[in-house]
Amino acid sequence: MKISGVNDFVIRFANVNGSGSASANNLFAKAIFRLGVPVSPKNIFPSNIQGLPTWYEVRVNEQGYLGRRGGYDFIVAVNGQTLKKDYEDLATGGYFFYDSTRSLPDDFLREDITLIGIPLTQICIQKIENPKLRQLLKNILYVGALAHLLDMDFSVLTDAITRQFSKKPKLAEPNIHALELGFEYAAQHFPDTCKLSVKSSKKLARHMLMDGNTAAGLGAVYGGATVAGWYPITPSTSVIEAFDKFTSRYRLDESGKKKAAIIQAEDELTALGIVLGASWNGARAFTATSGPGVSLMSEFLGLAYFAEIPVVLINVQRTGPSTGMPTRSQQSDVLMCAYASHGDTKQVLLFPCDPKECFEMSADSFDLAERLQSPVIIMSDLDLGMNDHVCLPLEWDDSHQYDRGKVLDAAQLEAMTERWGRYLDRDGDGLCYRTIPGTHPTLGAYFTRGSSHDEYAIYTEDSEAYERCMQRLTRKWQTAKTLVPKPHIKISDKAGTCGAVFFGTSTHASYEAVEQLKKQDIIVNTLRIRGFPFQDEVIDFVDSHDPIFVIEQNRDSQMRTLLINECGFCPDKLFPITNIDALPITATLIDRSIQERVSTQVPPHQGGVK
Amino acid sequence: MKSRRPSFRHPDLPKNDLGYTRRDYEGGDSTLCAGCGHDSTSNAIIQACYELCLEPHRVVKMSGIGCSSKTPAYFLGKSHGFNSVHGRMPSIATGANMANKDLIYLGVSGDGDTASIGMGQFVHIARRNLNMTYIVMNNGCYGLTKGQDSATADRGSASRKGRPNPFESIDLCELAIALGAGFVARGFSGDKAQLVPILKAAITHKGFSLVDVISPCVTFNNTATSTKSYQWVRDHMDATSTFDFIPPRQEITTEYEPGTTQPVTLHDGEVVNFHKSDDSHDVSTRRSAIDTLEFHREKGHLLTGILHLNETLEETHEILETTDTPLNTLTEKELCPGDQALQQLLETYR
């Protein structure tokens, strides 16, 4: 039986990296997006520039499930190195599209799948005159063939090409020609072969398709960042590239000079040092990095915590430990970031789940960091940062004013009747008043240091002064709870006792699993964590549910540990669901884990099963 | 210098053009050992800032960790200071400078802080030509951890611990010249007459200025066997050509034989006049500067003075082409493109 369906399948492209497949695959995903159909492309790529296997998975789903589903209904196999594996990975009833210029080896004997052999190389050699273009256009050719096989509106593809090459119309021509070649061959040789199709839909109207790193870089522009220190590291580099691109567009003065300074540092130590120096001196500054970078930055995170300097750090997490798998996604820096640096430190974390939140949290993090005078770490990951995601459009409230926090200007310094102390808690919220160098000729100068200091920023080895400082930082942490974004809670059943807690890129698959479980009469209420420190809402949710499934993408269920450690929950009620294959978590895994647990461990009257 | 400085000041203390006395450039009481070279260097910094008529609140002083890095607490009490972490002062200075290009940045570091743990940052701040003055209080040892050899300790030099240093030393001046720094000088904490004008020229120079000050550690490295001791430095010091630092408004009064002076004009019109003797070198080329340093090293002498000066280099802001207004003064209106621009942009993501 062939797999059939409209707007509901997973297609996987198996390519060689560096062969120009990425733009063709993007073209395919974008075409589906423009047909109004929810689509989630995921690039599974190697840490390499040219010659190794790379895959591009596209999930098409009318219902709007955007997490990874798992399993492949259709495979476009154009990489000889992985041909056998791709062939074996295809689901029963699926479609195996390959370049039939060379016939399949003899041991390809599956009878439960449909073969679609199109001689891509041969067509290119015969029909495309310019040999330089053949390799690139081979990729476009299979997109054209797919348009026929999946019954897609062809004009969406040609329009996309025209738009892409609007400034170089000469380049559009050969691309459209290649699309047509593929389409025609497939139409001639494979009429009515494929039972999967893409039909135009109204599911996406205002939506956009953007990657999280672009959104985060843009957020930094809107949030008023003027200084970025950074060091290249996958998968965070494109955050800075976006910041560079958008500041070049929106931040040039009359003479063409930039209202931003971007410094590619010699390492992550310096990258964060630049952020500290700039923030201390009154500019909004940020960096973007990944786990190995955060390890190096821990030294400065401790200084920023203790000397109380605003920092915005965008951590696009990848698979660890150590170098790990640099091009694979994971949520495995939770504990490291929450307690980054030696001594008693705690860092504010934000957990975006889509590009819209990447934009908002990136922009808002500057307010938060300056209000708190402390680091704010945005916990994105490779899946969110580097893959395109369908999401609601970004918005900016033009009436929003930057919150620069407690900063004294010259007039305020002069008006003060009592002695100003840099670390004096005048308001009882743990937040003190700072000054920016150069503000006043005689008032407000102080000495910033990572060594112990009293309320007036004077070096001290006095036990009581040290303790007062540390206790005030705890007070500040309480204030932070009121400022970080609240969790999103969805209560399907007020009487339900079963709860799921998740965050970031585990969100979409979790919501999908919860809806699937509903069909099995397993009702799960959910809480999506958006910030750390945890607020009362988190505590109340966990207190009022049992069991709690903590869904995350790391081996050691780090968020679960953090919840237990910070809130004192009984560990027995927090059941870990972890994904450690370094690929984005699937709804299937979550669904199955919850079902197993509910059916085997928890009696129905306690487990939320109706 | 543990004794407290008396608070009394004579009412007729001389004032500079801004109306500040030297006292206005002082800081807190030093907690360093009595006789420490660093205190003399701090005093030279105070004197240089006083003579240059710098507004104290327009100066930012930064440091890393170590005895030397403590000193910003002992000078310029009316300036903001930032005592960062070990070896990381250059990155903090870079960020601060990016935020506000209009302030004057003085960095103080030590030989451990610069030549070991902070070598990476030192090298890169020099090659980016950040507009700052980087002062190394160089005593060849780790004072605060009780006298271990540092990377600038000369091979064969022995500190109080007695064991001659078996490793090659790093010459920060030679390194900085090779890295393209535009101002490189070496002074001696015990020679204020030379050090103050060096500091004045360094602060005035646009771009990165390195001032390597041999500043003996009286407690751990002032032995007869040490090449960083007061006695050794005094006995082996050779100055490059003598020079005058002449502010723009000051008339040049001293006359020299034609052809014996090499004037270099700094960016605000100040002039450094080098008075050549027979064996003095051309400070404006890297090759000549490095040759001269090597020549004196072979002789076993310590060359001091301004070793290299090049006023034609672009500093970091110029290289990056940042706007003329200090970035930390830009407001939301100038920074945020607004919703309309955002909605237009989003069309490219549909």
CB contact under 8 A, B95 and A280: yes
Q: Give SS3 for A156.
A: helix
Q: Which of A181, A149, A169, A142 is nearest to A23 (CA)?
A: A142
Question: What residue in A sits closest to B94 (Cα-Cα)?
Answer: A274
How does pLDDT run across A244-253, given as a tens digit for each residue? 999 999 999 9
How does pLDDT run across A3-48, given as a tens digit for each residue? 999 999 999 999 999 888 999 999 999 999 999 999 999 999 998 8
Report whether A225 contacts A284 (CB < 8 A): yes
Structure tokens at A281: 């001196």
Q: Which of B141, B75, B78, B87 is nearest to B113 (CA)?
A: B87
Q: Which domains does chain A have, with CATH numbers?
A: 5-197 (3.40.920.10), 210-391 (3.40.50.970), 410-483 (no CATH), 488-607 (3.40.50.920)
CA quadruple B310, B316, B322, B323: dihedral sign: negative
Nearest chain A CA: its distance from B143 CA (Å): 18
Report whether A42 contacts A329 (CB < 8 A): no
How does pLDDT run across A72-83, given as a tens digit for each residue? 999 999 999 999
How does pLDDT run across A464-516, given as a tens digit for each residue? 999 999 999 999 999 999 999 999 999 999 998 899 999 999 999 999 999 99
Starting from the edge strand earliest in sequence, which strands make up the sheet with B80-83, in order?
A447-449, B80-83, B59-63, B104-110, B132-138, B208-214, B183-188, B302-309, B237-239
In a domain, B333, yes or no: no
Nearest Cβ partner for A441 among B55, B82, B325: B55
Nearest chain B CA: its distance from A213 CA (Å): 14
Q: Taking residues A165-172, report their average pLDDT.
A: 90
Q: Which residues contact A449 (CB under 8 A, 6 or more apart)?
A: A307, A457, A459, B82, B83
Question: DSSP readout, B14-60?
Answer: -B-TTS-BGGGGB-SPP-SPTT-HHHHHHHHHHHHHHHTT--GGGEE
Whether residue A274 lies within 8 A of chain B, CB to CB, comes out as: yes
* Number of alpha carbons in the 13 Å side-chain half-sphere of residue A245: 14
Residue B279 has a pLDDT of 58
Q: Which of A589, A568, A569, A592 is nearest to A578 (CA)?
A: A589
Q: Residue B3 above 70 pLDDT?
A: no
In a domain, B330, yes or no: no
Question: What residue in A sits closest to B120 (Cα-Cα)?
Answer: A266
Report whether B117 contacts B68 (CB < 8 A): no
In a domain, B204, yes or no: yes
Residues spanned by the domain of B272: 22-320
Output phi, psi for A232, to 5 deg: -60, 130
Average model confidence (pLDDT) across chain A: 96
CB contact under 8 A, B99 and A229: no
Report whether A454 contacts A469 (CB < 8 A): yes
Q: Which residues does chain B have within 8 Å of residue A448's beta carbon, measured at their own beta carbons?
A: 80-83
ipTM for the assembly: 0.95
Q: Which of A298, A251, A353, A439 is nearest to B329 (CA)?
A: A439
Q: Give SS3 for B5.
A: coil
In a domain, B336, yes or no: no
Q: Residue B269 above 90 pLDDT?
A: no
CB contact under 8 A, B97 and A267: no
Q: Residue A170 above 80 pLDDT?
A: yes
Q: Which residues does chain A have within 8 Å of residue B95's beta carbon, measured at their own beta carbons?
A: 227, 229, 273-281, 283, 285
Q: What value does the CA radius of gyration of chain A take, rounded to a whole number of Å?
A: 27
Q: Give SS3 for B182.
A: coil
Instruction: For residues B271 and B245, give the distance between their C-alpha atoms in angstroms, rounded to a whole number.
Output: 6
In a domain, B213, yes or no: yes
Instruction: For residues A328 and A496, give the distance between their C-alpha atoms in angstroms, rounded to a whole number.
Output: 36
Q: Residue B12 above 90 pLDDT?
A: no
Residue B129 has a pLDDT of 98
Report whether A487 contacts A564 (CB < 8 A): no
CB contact under 8 A, B99 and A439: no
How does pLDDT run across A416-464, given as a tens digit for each residue? 999 999 999 999 999 999 999 999 999 999 999 999 999 999 999 999 9
Instruction: For residues A483 and A361, give the distance between their C-alpha atoms in angstroms, rounded to a whole number.
Output: 12
Nearest Cβ partner for A274 among B81, B95, B102: B95
Residue A610 has a pLDDT of 35
In a domain, B142, yes or no: yes
Beta bridge partners of A287: A313
**Number of domains composing chain B:** 1
Report whether A570 contacts A543 (CB < 8 A): no
In a domain, B168, yes or no: yes
Instruction: For residues B201 and A17, give the distance between their C-alpha atoms in angstroms, rounded to a whole number.
Output: 55
Structure tokens at A8: 């509901």
Place of tokens 């040789």: A189
Rounded to 5°, the CA angle A288-A290-A296 comes to 90
Whether residue B82 lies within 8 A of chain A, CB to CB, comes out as: yes
In a domain, B338, yes or no: no
How does pLDDT run across B88-122, given as a tens digit for each residue? 999 999 999 999 999 999 999 999 999 999 999 99
Task: Kindly report the CATH number assigned to the domain that includes residue B148.
Answer: 3.40.50.970
Query: How many C-beta atoms lie closer than 10 Å to residue B4's C-beta?
Result: 8
Q: Residue A565 above 50 pLDDT?
A: yes
Q: Residue B278 above 70 pLDDT?
A: no
Q: Residue B40 above 50 pLDDT?
A: yes
